[in-house]
Amino acid sequence: MSSSDDRLNVLQRSAPVARPPTRRGARLTALALILGVLAVAWVALKPMLFPPRPVEVAPVEAGEAATSTANRAGVVEAQGWIEAAPWPVSVRPLVRGIVETMEVVEGDEVVANTTVIATLRNLDVENEAVLAAAALDAARAAEAEAKARADVAASLREQLLAERARRTELEGRVEEAVAAMQAAEESVRVAQAAREAALVDVEAQQRLLDGGSGLPVALARAEAQLREAEARVRDAEAGLLRARAAHKTLQGVYELAREGVDDPRDAEGEVTRAKAAVVAAAARTKEAEARQQVAASNVAQLEVRAPSSGRVLRLEAAPGALVGPQGDFKEMGEPSASGTLNRMTGTLCVLYVPQQLQARIDVPMGSVGGIVPGTSAEISVEGITEQPMVGTVSRLVREADLNKNTLQVKVTLDAPPESVVPEMLCRARFDVKAKAQPDTPRVSATQVATWWVPADAVVDGAVFLHDPAARVARRVTVDVIESRDGRTRVAGPLGHSSKVIRRPQALEDGMRVEASS
């Protein structure tokens, strides 16, 4: 076979094998038809499945022209949330411990230094308090003993010279004590012998009684005599102990007196050493008192009380949690109502004052220019506040949000109602006005058209117009000028043919609506 034939065979083997035609094109065509039918059905059925919301509309009436100066920049609206002003209070115990009980829940009123927030357990702290109390008792006892020794030493020093004259007397008293001790020992022996005799008598009477020849009365008398003998033995032994103690005391006094007579300087040194021991014992007592006070204070801190008056915003711990002054930063993805991105662990709860609230508003960068500290604002919380809350811009945060292209503005609320609490979303309406500079001439005033609308048609500085062509509601921002007799005069982009929607609280811009007859 030639080389050309070989190449031909190779080309034939490498050529693609013919396959039967696929039905992929037909499937795609069928899928496109199905999607088209579904789209047509959706367009046809959407009005029936999601009918437009019926609304009540009212025509606008032209009002008197209002004066508007060129230095008025307009109204800026933005959204944000409510938070504590100037910041919430974190309740953190001063000692570490395990939460045993939580005494408050969210929304509870607390009073500074009175309301108990939680009780903790810490065996190290509690045991330290017990040991400190015992150490204090021991230190006080040692101080008392040192003072007693010092008193004795001082008293002996004063008596040393007189003891010379009493030396002979003391020697006699010591001898008398020895004699008394010997007599007491003899009394003990006599009493013991009497007890032995009484015991023998009892045993004899018992045997006679057991043999039938004794009398119970005789046995009882013998037992009474035995008890009397035993009492005498105990009394004699006590007398012996007293005699020995008296002898020991007299012997010690005699030895001191003899030492003082021989060398009074030893007693003077003893007094000095005793005074030094008292000073050292007093210092140790003060140290023990300080340690006991610290330990007792730590135990008292296990009952955590509110550091300030207010209301509980949220709980940060539960029974069984480890809390204390030391904690780790907990990274949070979004800022909380307090405006912090990082939250410390180990906190029991967070407090706020209902009368001290502020709004943190994300204002678009394009609208920030006219907002300065002191700018008035109206804050509304949907479904909570019937009338907007009045506030004043306190400051602008000096760091913009690059992702949202906004700058946060803090608005201090003048008198927030009790129903408004931190972490509620809100909407702010800033009355932005350009402030006239001393060297800048004021621009002459112009006249703007105003319109009377029903008072219930104005919500958060805006009205909703009915668009009959598109059958939707359009939100339009207006300036409220005055309200009377159930009507409100506004300035804004309205016309003689405009119709406003009454009570539009649940509407959104672009929502499908249908005017009721």
Length of the chain in terms of residues written: 517
DSSP for 491-511 reads ESS--TT-EEESS-TT--TT-
- Rounded to whole angstroms, how far apart are CA atoms 481 and 498? 19
pLDDT of residue 248: 80
Is the CB of residue 394 less than 8 Å from the CB of residue 412?
yes
Give the residue, 103 or 52, on which the prediction is more confident. Answer: 103
Beta-carbon count within 10 A of 373 CB: 12
Confidence of residue 1 (pLDDT cuts 50, 70, 90): very low
Confidence of residue 406 (pLDDT cuts 50, 70, 90): confident
Evaluate if residue 17 carries a pLDDT over 70: no
Average of per-residue pLDDT across 482-495: 83
Evaluate if residue 448 carries a pLDDT over 90: no
Matching residue, tokens 């940060």 = 316
pLDDT of residue 137: 94
- Rounded to whole angstroms, how far apart are CA atoms 18 and 4? 24
Confidence of residue 125 (pLDDT cuts 50, 70, 90): very high
Domains delineated in the chain = 53-68+446-517 (2.40.420.20), 72-86+356-433 (2.40.30.170), 89-122+309-352 (2.40.50), 124-296 (1.10.287)
The tokens of 19 are what? 């396959």
Evaluate if residue 162 carries a pLDDT over 50: yes
The tokens of 218 are what? 């005789």
The tokens of 273 are what? 């050493």
pLDDT of residue 39: 72
- Could you tell me which of 80, 132, 84 has the C-alpha nearest to residue 378? 80
Average of per-residue pLDDT across 166-181: 74
- Rounded to whole angstroms, how far apart are CA atoms 239 and 411? 92
Percent of the chain past pLDDT 70, that is, above it, reads 79
pLDDT of residue 104: 94
Q: Mean of the per-residue pLDDT values for the chain?
A: 79
55-84 per-position pLDDT tens digit:
888 898 888 776 554 334 467 888 889 999
240-278 per-position pLDDT tens digit:
788 778 778 877 777 766 665 555 557 778 888 888 999
Is the CB of residue 295 less than 8 Å from the CB of residue 129?
yes
In Å, how far are 46, 336, 470 from 43, measured between CA atoms?
5, 43, 15
Poorest-pLDDT segment among 146-155, 278-287, 301-310: 146-155
- Rounded to whole angstroms, how far apart are CA atoms 260 and 274? 17
pLDDT of residue 474: 84
Give the distance from CA 448 to its chain's centroid: 56
Strand partners, 363: 407
pLDDT of residue 439: 43
Query: Both ends of the chain: CA-CA distance in Å?
Result: 98
Read off the pTM: 0.48
Instruction: Evaluate the CA torsion angle 163, 169, 174, 177 in order and state its sign.
Output: negative
Evaluate if residue 131 carries a pLDDT over 90: yes
Evaluate if residue 496 carries a pLDDT over 90: no
Percent of the chain past pLDDT 90, that is, above it, reads 29
pLDDT of residue 67: 57
Most confidently predicted of 246-260, 293-307, 395-409: 293-307
Which amino acid is present at 44?
A
314-344 per-position pLDDT tens digit:
998 899 989 988 754 444 444 444 444 345 5
